[in-house]
Chain A
Amino acid sequence: MEFKDYYKILGVPPEADDKEIKAAYRKLARKYHPDVNADADAESKFKEVAEAYKVLKDAEKRAEYDQLRQFRDARGGFQPPPGWQSAGAASGGGREADFSDFFESLFGGGFSRRGGPRPGRDLEMDLPLFLEDTVADTRKPISVHGRTLNVTIPAGTADNERIRLKGKGEPGSDGAPSGDLYLRVRLVPHPVFDVEGHDLLVTVPVAPWEAALGAKLQVPTLSGRISLTLPAGSQTGRRLRVKGKGLAGKKTQGDLYAIIKIVMPERISDRDRELWRALAEQSDFDPRANWAGDGRRHDKEPRK
């Protein structure tokens, strides 16, 4: 069995007093608490810290632990001495699932809750969802504690929404009811669309002459491509609204916005260069006429 060095886990010396131990625990608990820290390994780290504190804050347990510490071997292994029995281990207590085998072998059921039926805890987990899955009712397999549940995601489910699955949380003990499972919807970033509330945004690259002269654009939506008219003289960042092509909401239907992005060709042919040059010579357009960066004073109000 692996020996758990509770002092090392809390980062305190073996002669630390109660105050130091408490302070070390609080600091680590704030850092690794699974409600505070979403990292994958935070929860196991927190459990380790909580287990260490549970033993070291209790004078009797700590004395027993200190005594047993002498039986650890050089390779980090450990075997309790023959006939070892914790003074605090009550008979008939159930196993506390959150603690390590090491803890259980030392203190047995001593810290476990008293017997009798206990309802299961409610659980919460993130549910990554593709935008496409929100268009119509979708069934998704979800794996919880080794079980696979087939969950129906209703059309129009939004980011951050919680879906409650009654009785699918932690099982209760001795016939007590199970807790519930809450799935928190997290929309997965999409390769094409961005989300703003219920609206969808799609960035559409256009050639400078398309922006200048206007064009017909083929634009993707969640339900196939549509044709859009780009008005002449469109700037980068211009939004073209397509009503009703956003995400479905419970009450409202979002819109789709095509956002114009003017792009230059990566390579310019000799012929193109001649055309640009002709334009440059004849155009009186000054893109920096109202630009604060040219060092001239401008009387315009600063942009808010």
Chain B
Amino acid sequence: MNTLTLTEVCRRVSLPEHAVIEIVEVGIVTPVAGSARAWRFDDQTLIVLSRAARLHEDLALDWHGVALALELLEEIDTLRRENEQLRQRLNRFLD
């Protein structure tokens, strides 16, 4: 698996280092290895960071707010899909 350094991650998502450090601190993304400036991130982190950066910027949320929004959005997505699947299974019994 490819991993990225903190500097590489910052460049890829156009965020300053202190912002990425704060994002890690509030638990939006978790480095796969290393500590502080020697962190390594997997490449799936980038898409989460980009999404976090957009929500931070466009909705004027602080990083704690972004963390909460992302968690809730993920949960809504999971529940919505689970609901669809259960509804489909139920319909197979009722049809």
Contacts and interface: CB of A to CB of B under 8 A. Distances in A.
A126 to B, nearest CB: 11
Interface in B33-69: 43-44, 46-47, 50-51, 54-55, 58-60, 69
Contacts of B14: 119
Contacts of A29: 58-59
Q: How big is the A interface, by class? A: 20 to 34
Interface residues of B, number: 24
B37 to A, nearest CB: 22
A7 B35 CA distance: 49
B73 interface: yes
A195 B86 CA distance: 10
B93 A261 contact: yes
A48 interface: no
A36 B60 contact: no
A119 B12 contact: yes
A122 B50 contact: yes
Given A189-B84, A194-B88, A194-B92, A35 B46 contact: no
4 nearest A-B pairs in the assembled complex, by CB-CB distance: A203-B92, A182-B47, A194-B89, A35-B51
13 contacts: A26-B60, A29-B58, A30-B59, A33-B54, A35-B54, A122-B46, A162-B44, A182-B44, A189-B85, A194-B89, A194-B92, A201-B89, A203-B93
